[in-house]
Amino acid sequence: MDPDSRALYVISVAAELAGVHPQTLRIYERKGLLAPARTSGRSRRYSERDIELLRRIQALTNDGVSLAGVQRVLALEEQLNAAKRRIAELEDRLEAMTREMEERVQAAHRQYKRELVPLRGAALARFDTFRSSR
């Protein structure tokens, strides 16, 4: 399990760590900005990742972004991160395919028969004579 996703903090501690009021966390949850884990008794538990998200939300709202805007920004950031992950996967795959292609080309070169002999001097003159007579 990812240590950042372990739900450790009760609402009061999470609010203090994020620098907001506990009621603000409840509002964010109702708006769908955050989804803390729940214990069997239904109390909220926040992870380090949740705290980071709360700080990001606070930074955006402090910059004047509405909660609807925050939702959109977070969705776009997630799309961007997913695209970056996909690009990294594709780059890794491209590198592997490039290495494989280079290995295949080298293997093909090693299989060439070296039976062709370059023409020199008199043999080349006879070839030119043969060509011009046709």
**CATH code for the domain in which residue 41 is found:** 1.10.1660.10
* Residue 24 lies inside a defined structural domain of this protein: yes
Q: Do 30 and 85 belong to one domain?
A: no
Q: Do 75 and 52 belong to one domain?
A: no
**Paired residues of 46 in beta bridges:** 9
Q: Do 41 and 31 belong to one domain?
A: yes
Question: Total structural domains in the chain?
Answer: 2
Q: Mean pLDDT, to the nearest integer, of 77-102?
A: 98
Q: Do 3 and 56 belong to one domain?
A: yes
Contact between 17 and 24 under an 8 Å Cβ cutoff? The reply is no
Distance, in Å, from the CA atom of 60 to the CA atom of 70, rounded to the nearest integer, reads 6
43 has pLDDT over 70: yes
| SS3 track for 88-113 | HHHHHHHHHHHHHHHHHHHHHHHHCC
CA proximity to 55, closest of 75, 34, 38, 27 = 34
Task: Determine which of 7-11, 54-58, 74-78, 79-83 has the lowest per-residue pLDDT on average.
Answer: 7-11
* Residue 118 lies inside a defined structural domain of this protein: no
Q: Mean pLDDT, to the nearest integer, of 31-57?
A: 92
4 has pLDDT over 90: no
Res 134: pLDDT: 62
pLDDT, tens only, 96-126:
999 999 999 998 888 877 666 666 666 666 6
Q: Do 79 and 92 belong to one domain?
A: yes
Q: Do 44 and 102 belong to one domain?
A: no
* Residue 20 lies inside a defined structural domain of this protein: yes
* Predicted TM-score of the model (pTM): 0.66
Query: How many angstroms separate the first and last alpha carbons of the chain?
Result: 80
Domain coverage including residue 98: 66-112
- Give the whole-number percent of the chain exceeding pLDDT 70: 81
Distance, in Å, from the CA atom of 5 to the CA atom of 14, rounded to the nearest integer, reads 14
Q: Do 11 and 1 belong to one domain?
A: yes
Q: Mean pLDDT, to the nearest integer, of 81-89?
A: 98
* Residue 49 lies inside a defined structural domain of this protein: yes
* Residue 93 lies inside a defined structural domain of this protein: yes
The residue type at 63: D
